[in-house]
Structure 1
Amino acid sequence: MPSAAFLVYSGIMPLLKTFFTIIAGYAAAKMGMFPPAASRGTSHITMNMALPALIFANVVPAFTPSNISALGPLFLIAFTYQAIGFLSGLIIREVCYVPRNFWQGVIVMTGMSNWGNLPTAVVLSITQQAPFNPATDPALGVSYVSIFIVSYHLVFWMGGAAHSLSWDFRPGVPQGEAAEVRVSWKEKPIGSLITRYILRQEPPNSFAAAAIEADKTKDIEESFSEKEKNAGTDGAIPVSELRRSEGIDDTAESDPDVQLARRTSRISTASVPMPHRRPSLSAAAAPSAIPSAPPPSPAQSARDLETQSIAQRSETLHTPTLPQKIVRVFRPLGAIVTPVTCTLAVSLPIALVQPLKALFVDVSATGGPSFKGPDGRPPLAFMIDTANFMGGITVPLALVLLGASFARIKLPRPLSRLPIMAMFLSTFAKMIMLPVIGIFLVQAMTGAGLVQKDEKALRFVMMFLSGTPTAVNQLIVASLYAPDGNVDNLSACLLVQYIFMFIASSALTAVALLLL
């Protein structure tokens, strides 16, 4: 049995190069060498070109009819991890202080994990050393990670997790300081149901007074702002200038995650069942209680239109026709049509059909046909070489992009405004509790015969991906839905998770290697 020092060393060393690359991306962004435009281009390249190429180059040689049975346990444990995460986030929301505009965000953050480039980099590094087989296990590891990626896309996009982030920014949901009102458990979604239907009590509404006060303050500020504009300008301010003054990046909407979010979130909220809401006291108050705001100027109207969230814009849509309703019903299915899922859909049949596979790789050793080109290699071997060459940029580019994303995170001031307890409990759930559960689940599946004991790459991937932090693209999608693009609470939670990830991942890797 290897010593504890060797296990710790084996768990830490493969992770060092990933963290050094993240730090390099962070430094490059801070020095202005990696601006937002470069991040968007890098995101397009990694998600639409490099990662699909890497998956194709690894799935075709790695999967065989003998190990294709691993798909069932992989999907089973991936969905189990997500279900446990969502349940943990639900409990955290109910028992901890969480701002009102982060109630759904904390659930999605705890349920969805980074199963893309980051674990691919770690798995590639670790499977190249003992006790793994460097000749076959790196390709198998990437293939197994790709199954987790598919399960992520199914739940986040097609399953509606991405669209559910808009619930925190629907009309009537307090934003800004009004969302930071601390409420009792009886006012949380599940607590209010228990209070109303089991305890037979009417749940309180602490947001009402805050909403009235916020409306008064907003009306006064708009009145002063209107006077200043009338006194200092003769015409409307261009929308682009207003967006720059508000800190809104016009070109951010070209991000692939943003485009996918737009495709999957254009279903009118009128056609989606809305949870019952009691009318706000601010809306029911007498007209004399709240001063009326002056009519907005063209510049103010333009800014309001440009900074509206998707959920707010959807309220203004007209009643859809029958063809439009049919399109909207099936539009979420298009979320699974991504370069990654399409690559996997093409790669798996090639890997499992021996005559097709023989065109790309040599399968004569396993009894398959032998097709040779003039150079003595399979005729389409150059496609595997090209995919390997392109896929080689996936890991470093993605890690640099991750570091640059951290450099642009803005934390609220003072930090006491953050949901500190919810942040640490969600980190504990994702980085400590779920890995412990994952280790026991994998060991139980091995003992029950669902996973073979000698499939070390499979067992390691199933254990390691139980302890990864939240995916960064939730930050992109949530900022798209937010009226002002402000998602400081999510940014702070992500920062805590990725800082803690080094220690947690090293420990998880050491334990997994000990159990293999």
Structure 2
Amino acid sequence: MVSAGTLIWISCRPLLRLVFCVGCGIVITKADVFPAAAAGGAGQVLLNITLPCLMFSKIVPAFSADNVGALGPLVLVALLYEGMGIVLGYIVKQLFWVPHRFRYGIIVAGGWGNVGDIPTSVIMSVTGAAPFMGVEDQTLAVAYISAFILVFMLTMFPFGGHKWVAWDFEGQDVEPEEVREAMRLKRKAMVHHLIRFASLARSKKREKEPVDPESKANLELSEKNDSAESNAQRVQRRHVSFAEDSSLALPEGIYSPNESASPTEIGQLSRVTSERATTMIGGDASVYKIPSRSIDPKEETDALPLHASNPSDPLSHSRRNFLDRRFILEFLKALFSPASMAIISAFPIALIPQLKALFVEVPGTYMPSAPDGQPPLAFFLDATSFVGAASVPLGLICLGSSLARLNMPRKGEWKTLPLGAITCIAIGKMILMPVLGVLICQGLTNVGLISKDDKVLRFVCIFFSSLPTATVQVLLTQVYSGTGSSEHLSVFLIPQYILMFISMTAITAYTIELLF
């Protein structure tokens, strides 16, 4: 049993080291000592050298045939967290207005957390001291973290998660006022459907109840009168002249029935208007039902996107083959990144005793030693451990640099921000997700999928539920925007990283109390 004071100190200590490294990144960036080009170069060193070395140096000695069964629960939990985050982002998008250039980014912000530098720093600090077993548990924890990193990299890049960020910058821009108005109409339609559903439920309930003959006759008479009045109103509206009522005039730029316009112009206008309304409400066309007139087949063919396949086009088959090949090449390129390859190659080495004996001593497996008495490739493991030690501090410094470049809203700009979406995604990621993470991991432990005796595995699985949005999205947004800016993302990241210090302290203290 750990005392309350000790528990609080164990939970806060890793965050102090994290704050120090992140603060150094913020200071040197604000002092213009660490410019964007240098930060980008450091990020490349981190992704292509230090992080692969760290993963390889921890996976090889940590995994064996005895604990390889932990990979299944780790991958399952990682996929569950990403799926829950994607659902969270989608729900926020449906209930609150989100900037048009962040309509898909909100889903990425919910689904993919910062699985690299932050959890590695905190978990290494916590498992490296009591009540854990020190260096042994620390090495095992980093090996478990590699499963989350592998799932993150595979889902973000080979399987196309990063394309959602790119989709934000396709098509025409839509003003925030238009997006807010579309969301207001969408909420109004949702409330109307809910009221209608509730009234239908009440009417069905009344039908099941016994009704005396006199009340039934009065109800039928009232329904007949309402129906007759409604028919009369419809007939009256049918004879209204739109030309006499100036308040019913069509908006500027829309053809009225008296104006002459070719069928081609009307068809194109209707199609563009329908697409714009659908885009404004996030792809949900249930609010606006804009009728579209028939369009000439030739015009419809010309209106197809460049990436669409037209069966009548003789080149469609070759175009489709080209796109398939390009997708496969992109998939393989992302799959064979240095970090992915280091993790993928480390697992067979760790699980095959003859290969593992080349790097570390394996009981029961003979391997000729080097002149210093160590395994033949022990020097390679030492080198990767040495280089990998720079991964965590370098990653935290780059994180601080990224946060320092985010633009904080000014005093008068807060009213124009999507405060509802910002608040909900922050609370969902940093408060709701940790609660669900504890429940999920405890449920998997109770059914035997997660070993109750593997405290490191349980701690890692629970801790990964409290991660803020990945800062990799900042880089992706800057690349795909074409302007190098990530203005919409910054206001969603900052509240999460502020709440992170509270939620991580709480989840660490609770998990240690739960395990010990």
TM-score, L = length of structure 1: 0.73
Change (3 A) 1:32 1:313: farther
Conserved in 2, the CA contact under 8 Å of 1:100 and 1:179? no
Cα distance in 2 for partners of 1:325, 1:493 equals 34
Match of 1:406 among 403, 407, 416: 403
Q: Which amino acid in structure 1 is aligned with residue 400 of structure 2?
A: G
Match of 2:274 among 274, 278, 281: 278
Conserved in 2, the CA contact under 8 Å of 1:124 and 1:142? yes
How many Å apart are 1:211 and its aligned residue? 12
Cα distance in 2 for partners of 1:325, 1:164 equals 18
- The equivalent of 1:21 in structure 2 is 21
Deviations 1:440-485 (A, max 9, x none): 1111211211122221111111011111101111111122222544
Conserved in 1, the CA contact under 8 Å of 2:96 and 2:183? no
Deviations 1:299-351 (A, max 9, x none): xxxxxxxxxxxxx9989xx9763542331242342222211110011100000
How many Å apart are 1:137 and its aligned residue? 0.9
Deviations 1:165-217 (A, max 9, x none): 22322213415x566544336548x969x89xx99xxxxxxxxx9998xxxxx
**1:336 and 2:335 correspond:** yes
Change (3 A) 1:41 1:440: same
- The 5 Å alignment of 1:220-239 reads none
Change (3 A) 1:46 1:14: same
Q: Which amino acid in structure 2 is aligned with residue 321 of structure 1?
A: R
Tell me, what secondary structure is at the counterpart of 1:114?
coil
Change (3 A) 1:400 1:314: farther
Deviations 1:368-420 (A, max 9, x none): 33432111111110011000110011111111111111111123441222211
Conserved in 1, the CA contact under 8 Å of 2:75 and 2:148? yes
Cα distance in 2 for partners of 1:421, 1:466 equals 22
Where does structure 2 lack aligned partners over 5 or more consecutive residues?
Answer: 199-249, 254-270, 278-304, 309-314
Tell me, what secondary structure is at the counterpart of 2:473?
helix
Cα distance in 2 for partners of 1:151, 1:210 equals 50
Tell me, what secondary structure is at the counterpart of 1:169?
coil
- The equivalent of 1:255 in structure 2 is none
Cα distance in 2 for partners of 1:112, 1:488 equals 19
Q: Which amino acid in structure 1 is aligned with residue 502 of structure 2?
A: I
How many Å apart are 1:38 and its aligned residue? 1.1
Cα distance in 1 for partners of 2:251, 2:180 equals 7
- The equivalent of 2:443 in structure 1 is 444
Q: Which amino acid in structure 1 is aligned with residue 390 of structure 2?
A: I
- The 5 Å alignment of 1:446-465 reads 446-465=445-464
- The equivalent of 1:389 in structure 2 is 386
Runs of 4+, deviation exceeding 3 Å: 177-182, 185-188, 209-212, 312-315, 318-323, 483-486
- The equivalent of 1:51 in structure 2 is 51
**1:359 and 2:377 correspond:** no
- The equivalent of 1:6 in structure 2 is 6
Conserved in 2, the CA contact under 8 Å of 1:140 and 1:457? yes
- The equivalent of 2:476 in structure 1 is 477
Change (3 A) 1:182 1:478: farther
Larger Rg: 1 or 2? 2
How many Å apart are 1:142 and its aligned residue? 0.8
Cα distance in 1 for partners of 2:101, 2:76 equals 32
Q: Which amino acid in structure 2 is aligned with residue 78 of structure 1?
A: A
Cα distance in 2 for partners of 1:277, 1:64 equals 60
- The equivalent of 1:510 in structure 2 is 509
Cα distance in 1 for partners of 2:470, 2:251 equals 33
Tell me, what secondary structure is at the counterpart of 1:347?
helix
Cα distance in 2 for partners of 1:40, 1:352 equals 36
Change (3 A) 1:185 1:2: same
Q: Which amino acid in structure 2 is aligned with residue 340 of structure 1?
A: A
Q: Which moved more, 1:350-359 or 1:146-155?
A: 146-155
Tell me, what secondary structure is at the counterpart of 2:103?
helix
Cα distance in 2 for partners of 1:411, 1:455 equals 43
How many Å apart are 1:44 and its aligned residue? 0.8
Cα distance in 1 for partners of 2:477, 2:145 equals 25
- The equivalent of 2:325 in structure 1 is 327
- The 5 Å alignment of 1:492-503 reads 492-503=491-502
Conserved in 2, the CA contact under 8 Å of 1:99 and 1:180? yes
Cα distance in 2 for partners of 1:322, 1:502 equals 49
- The equivalent of 1:229 in structure 2 is none
Aligned length: 407
Cα distance in 1 for partners of 2:377, 2:342 equals 16
Cα distance in 1 for partners of 2:62, 2:31 equals 41
**1:380 and 2:380 correspond:** no
- The equivalent of 2:429 in structure 1 is 430
- The equivalent of 1:140 in structure 2 is 140
- The equivalent of 2:284 in structure 1 is none
Q: Which amino acid in structure 1 is aligned with residue 91 of structure 2?
A: I
Tell me, what secondary structure is at the counterpart of 1:184?
helix
Cα distance in 1 for partners of 2:276, 2:117 equals 44
Cα distance in 2 for partners of 1:131, 1:391 equals 25
Change (3 A) 1:147 1:369: same
How many Å apart are 1:55 and its aligned residue? 0.5
Cα distance in 2 for partners of 1:41, 1:151 equals 24
Tell me, what secondary structure is at the counterpart of 1:27?
helix
**1:87 and 2:84 correspond:** no
How many Å apart are 1:505 and its aligned residue? 0.7
Tell me, what secondary structure is at the counterpart of 2:134?
coil
Change (3 A) 1:376 1:91: same
Tell me, what secondary structure is at the counterpart of 1:469?
coil
Cα distance in 2 for partners of 1:410, 1:313 equals 36
- The 5 Å alignment of 1:208-247 reads none
Cα distance in 2 for partners of 1:102, 1:515 equals 39
Cα distance in 1 for partners of 2:149, 2:251 equals 42
Q: Which amino acid in structure 1 is aligned with residue 324 of structure 2?
A: I
Q: Which amino acid in structure 1 is aligned with residue 459 of structure 2?
A: F
Q: Which amino acid in structure 2 is aligned with residue 327 of structure 1?
A: R
Cα distance in 2 for partners of 1:4, 1:65 equals 37
Conserved in 2, the CA contact under 8 Å of 1:178 and 1:211? no
Change (3 A) 1:97 1:280: closer
Cα distance in 2 for partners of 1:182, 1:24 equals 43
Q: Which amino acid in structure 2 is aligned with residue 333 of structure 1?
A: F
Cα distance in 2 for partners of 1:383, 1:484 equals 42
Q: Which amino acid in structure 2 is aligned with residue 404 of structure 1?
A: S
Change (3 A) 1:422 1:279: closer
Cα distance in 2 for partners of 1:326, 1:493 equals 35
Cα distance in 2 for partners of 1:452, 1:336 equals 30
TM-score, L = length of structure 2: 0.73
Deviations 1:93-130 (A, max 9, x none): 11123222222111110111011122111111111012
- The equivalent of 1:102 in structure 2 is 102
